[in-house]
Amino acid sequence: MCILRFVAFALTLAVAPSSIEAQPREITRDQARLLVRAVLASQGFDLNSPSLVIDDQPDKPEFPEYYLFSAYTRGEGMDFSAGAYAVSRRTADVWNWMHCWRFRRAKRLHVLQKQLRKEIGLSESDYRKLSAERRFCFSIPVTDR
């Protein structure tokens, strides 16, 4: 009986790491929000301004695997859009989903993305494969910003 328990325990240990590794790891919504803030900062928005608002948007079936945000500034009697953002849970890519712009050029954004990809265990080759998949912008050409 002890041998059977040992074998069952050993098999559990042998199988567990591979099943854990097979699960795709993702960034959190809070991490995605940090990426949106990095984009906004690169565009000259004052992140400490009380008039800058970043709202979480509900998940949508047409944007699978993305966190959605809208950003705007509050003016006197009017709100001004600062963008509609989709952040990939699996790659940390940031998109303006309305115009099909992928944000890549801002240094602060790039550093944060690299750090998050490392934290979730995303290799460079896996990133290239996943980032080639576009879940939206089907008929609009992608522009890198």
Residue with the bigger pLDDT between 101 and 32: it is: 32
Three-class HEC string of 27-38: CCHHHHHHHHHH
pLDDT tens-place string over residues 36-63? 999 999 999 999 999 999 999 998 888 8
Residue 7's pLDDT is what?
40
Residue 8's pLDDT is what?
47
Domain residue ranges of the chain, discontinuous segments joined by +: 24-144
Residue 1's pLDDT is what?
53
Task: Supply angle C-alpha 131, 89, 69, rounded to 5.
Answer: 110
Q: What's the CATH class of domain 24-144?
A: alpha beta
